């Protein structure tokens, strides 16, 4: 069998990092690890090719070569995925769709020949056999959440590595917490399942052997879901870095209770963790309590962030507007919090009720669901009736983005962060590595795009000067963030230019039924 694995294109969003990646000559942030894992699970005697349409074109001759097409994706890729499915169907090519999208969208709506819901490790053998024999079923649903020891070494030979800014490795799936709006716990469960340390090191060895020398994103739902195991892994990573003389910088996602564990933070620092994404959600404690985000309560959130930053880790934060508890002062409070936090990359989104979540169920019972959502919480699409007036909520959302991604405000946050993490005299500078890595191109492009043609030239030059003088010991980090800021500036500018769409309550009966159907699966 010739199996063609295809990853659909993402729309342009705050999360695509598109305008920052172009500075580095990269086309996408990360490769499709789900498909690379599926490829490794398929029978050895099958021939495999992978086309990630975020970094290359899908050509007719790829489709001519294939006996079967396997697609993966998130809810947000639905449109692009369905276009590819349509193209395959027109040629009589069989399609199989898997990945998180199949947990959010009804099988029939994806119009593929075969749908796989859930993790693939334990069911691929059956699917492959059925495909070979021409008797594959319409829907395969994973009966269990497989142990991670059964997950194979992903097939990196299939990707065009140089086109990505970061490589990915997954250590664990699942998260022990119970946030009401979260679909991770519905898809991957609440019991953190981890790979063996040897599996992770084998993946890193594989990346190194393939010539990778840059950042590695440990794409866990919550890296510290099992703290004891995370510590064990970090110790092994530090030892591996030493032994292999490899300076991979690690990025991951974790819960805020990381700030309570100095031993773990130190181990992460020693292992090379440089950035961490935290779901902070809201500075309003009542919003955290009502959404069951209890691990973020009964603490000073700003202090927790500063503690983590003091271990040299850049904190990226996820924030949500639109909780039932939000009053109109939430917008100012959110801006004030973000500015004080020293979190340059603050992903502020509108609450979206994803099908399958506890939030979706509650809102459905309350008759407030409008549709199944679009999987993108940084668009202005509201898929439920908020408590706050919807127009006011969207206006407030826009005002937050405008204020935090204005150049001056953004650079102020970068400076707060750099002040907390800049190496002290006598400590090794963090910029040498950056300057070595051929980032000259990014710097020149930044000077031209932001300093010559940018809308905020004055603020840019002021920041560049400060970076080259006061922050010269971490100039690389400063300029990387300046480049990232450009993406957020462009995206915010675009969003603010669009006309606000009115919410149409009552026009969503069919969508509610669709969402309910998805829910009952
Ligand atoms: C890394 C990551 C990203 C990266 C991009 C990675 C990439 N290139 O795809 C970044 C940071 C850019 C990102 C962004 C976003 N992400 Co994201 N991301 C992840 C994360 C943490 C890891 C993905 C991964 O590599 N997993 C490892 C692989 C091995 O797992 P897997 O893909 O699930 O694959 C397994 C099965 O699903 C199955 N499978 C997968 N594909 C296929 C295909 C076939 C044919 C078969 C048979 C089986 C199969 O087999 C695999 C092995 O079991 C996941 C969470 C997670 N646990 O996966 C969220 C996740 C995928 N992201 C999610 C979301 C919502 C987003 C955003 C939309 C954010 C937002 N809130 O707006 C943006 C969209 C991007 C954009 N441009 O706008 C959701 C998707 C929910 C959904 N129902 O679709 C997830 C599940 C997390 C969550 N709930 O918040 N993301
Ligand atoms: S901490 Fe994050 S991953 Fe865990 S349940 Fe809450 S939102 Fe989901």
Please report the pLDDT score of residue 301 as a whole number: 98
Q: What is the mean pLDDT of the chain?
A: 93
Ligand nearest to the CA of 20: 1
Please report the pLDDT score of residue 434 as a whole number: 60
Maximum mean pLDDT: which of 243-247, 358-362, 440-444 = 358-362
d(CA 505, CA 490): 31
Least confident of 124-138, 190-204, 423-437: 423-437
Please report the pLDDT score of residue 499 as a whole number: 75
Which residue from 500, 473, 494, 336 is spatially nearest to 403, judged by alpha carbons? Answer: 336
Please report the pLDDT score of residue 521 as a whole number: 45
> Is the per-residue pLDDT at 199 higher than 60?
yes
- Euclidean distance between the first and the last CA atom of the chain, given in angstroms as a whole number: 31
Q: Residue 441: which pLDDT band, with cuts at 50, 70 and 90? A: confident
> Is the per-residue pLDDT at 379 higher than 90?
no
Backbone angles phi, psi at 114, to 5 degrees: -135, 140
Tell me if 33 CB under 6 Å of ligand 1.
Answer: yes
- Whether the CB-CB separation of 279 and 185 falls below 8 Å is answered with no
Residues whose CB is less than 8 angstroms from the CB of residue 181 and which lie 6 or more positions away in sequence, other chains included = 291, 320, 351, 352, 353, 354, 357, 358, 359
Percent of the chain beyond pLDDT 90? 84
Residue whose CA lies nearest to ligand 1 atom number 39: 99
> Is the per-residue pLDDT at 107 higher than 70?
yes
Question: How many Å lie between the centroid of ligand 1 and the Cα of residue 288?
Answer: 24
Dump pLDDT digits (tens) for 216-232. 999 999 999 999 999 99
Please report the pLDDT score of residue 507 as a whole number: 46
Residue whose CA lies nearest to ligand 1 atom number 63: 74
> Is the per-residue pLDDT at 467 higher than 60?
yes
Dump pLDDT digits (tens) for 445-459. 899 999 999 888 999
d(CA 261, CA 388): 37
d(CA 177, CA 435): 40
Q: Residue 442: which pLDDT band, with cuts at 50, 70 and 90? A: confident
> Is the per-residue pLDDT at 413 higher than 80?
yes
Please report the pLDDT score of residue 179 as a whole number: 98
Which residue from 322, 332, 389 is spatially nearest to 352, judged by alpha carbons? Answer: 322
> Is the per-residue pLDDT at 28 higher than 60?
yes
Is this model's pTM higher than 0.75 or not? yes
Ligand nearest to the CA of 182: 2
Please report the pLDDT score of residue 240 as a whole number: 96
Dump pLDDT digits (tens) for 65-94. 999 999 999 999 999 999 999 999 999 999
Q: Residue 508: which pLDDT band, with cuts at 50, 70 and 90? A: very low
Please report the pLDDT score of residue 498 as a whole number: 86
Place of tokens 């021939």: 47
Q: What is the mean pLDDT of residues 385-414?
A: 96
Residue whose CA lies nearest to ligand 1 atom number 77: 16
Question: How many Å lie between the centroid of ligand 1 and the Cα of residue 189?
Answer: 15
């Amino acid at each position: 069998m010739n199996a063609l694995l295809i990853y659909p294109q993402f729309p342009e969003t705050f999360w695509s990092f598109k305008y920052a990646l172009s500075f580095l000559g990269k086309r996408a942030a990360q490769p499709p690890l789900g498909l690379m894992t599926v490829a490794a699970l398929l029978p050895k005697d099958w021939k495999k090719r992978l086309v990630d349409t975020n970094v290359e074109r899908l050509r007719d001759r790829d489709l001519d070569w294939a006996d079967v097409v396997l697609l993966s994706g998130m809810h947000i890729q639905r449109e692009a995925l369905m276009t590819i499915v349509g193209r395959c169907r027109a040629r009589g090519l069989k399609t199989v769709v898997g990945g998180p999208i199949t947990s959010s969208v009804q099988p029939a709506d994806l119009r593929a020949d075969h749908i796989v819901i859930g993790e693939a490790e334990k069911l691929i053998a059956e699917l492959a056999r059925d495909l070979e024999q021409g008797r594959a079923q319409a829907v395969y649903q994973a009966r269990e959440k497989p142990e991670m020891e059964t997950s194979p070494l992903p097939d990196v030979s299939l990707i065009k590595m140089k086109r990505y800014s970061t490589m990915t490795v997954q250590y664990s799936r699942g998260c022990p917490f119970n946030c009401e709006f979260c679909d991770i716990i519905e898809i991957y469960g609440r019991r953190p399942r981890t790979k063996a340390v040897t599996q992770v090191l084998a993946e890193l060895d594989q990346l190194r052997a393939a010539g990778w020398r840059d950042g590695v994103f440990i794409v866990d739902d919550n890296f510290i879901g099992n703290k004891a195991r995370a510590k064990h892994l970090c110790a092994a990573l530090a030892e591996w870095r030493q032994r292999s003389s490899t300076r991979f910088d690690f990025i991951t996602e974790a819960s805020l209770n990381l700030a309570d564990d100095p031993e773990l933070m130190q181990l992460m620092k020693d292992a090379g963790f440089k950035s961490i994404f935290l779901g902070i959600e809201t500075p309003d404690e009542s919003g955290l309590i009502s959404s069951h985000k209890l691990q973020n309560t009964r603490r000073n959130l700003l202090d927790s962030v500063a503690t983590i930053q003091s271990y040299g880790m850049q904190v990226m934060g996820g924030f949500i507007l639109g909780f039932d508890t939000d009053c109109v002062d939430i917008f100012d409070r959110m801006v004030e919090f973000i500015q004080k936090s020293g979190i340059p990359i603050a992903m502020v989104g509108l609450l979206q009720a994803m099908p399958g979540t506890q939030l979706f169920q509650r809102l459905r019972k309350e008759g407030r669901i409008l549709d199944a959502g679009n999987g993108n919480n940084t668009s202005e699409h509201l898929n439920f009736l908020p408590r706050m007036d919807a127009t006011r909520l969207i206006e407030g959302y826009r005002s937050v983005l405008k204020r935090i991604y204005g150049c001056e405000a953004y650079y102020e946050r970068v400076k707060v962060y750099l002040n907390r993490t800049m190496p002290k005299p006598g400590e090794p500078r963090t910029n040498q590595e950056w300057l070595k890595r051929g980032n000259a191109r990014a710097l020149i492009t930044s000077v031209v795009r932001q300093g010559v043609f940018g809308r905020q030239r004055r603020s840019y030059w002021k920041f560049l000067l400060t970076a080259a003088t006061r922050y010269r010991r971490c100039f690389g980090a400063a300029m990387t963030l300046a480049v990232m800021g450009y993406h957020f500036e462009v995206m915010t500018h675009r969003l603010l230019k669009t006309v606000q769409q009115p919410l149409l309550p009552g026009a969503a009966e069919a969508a509610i039924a669709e969402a309910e159907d998805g829910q009952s699966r």
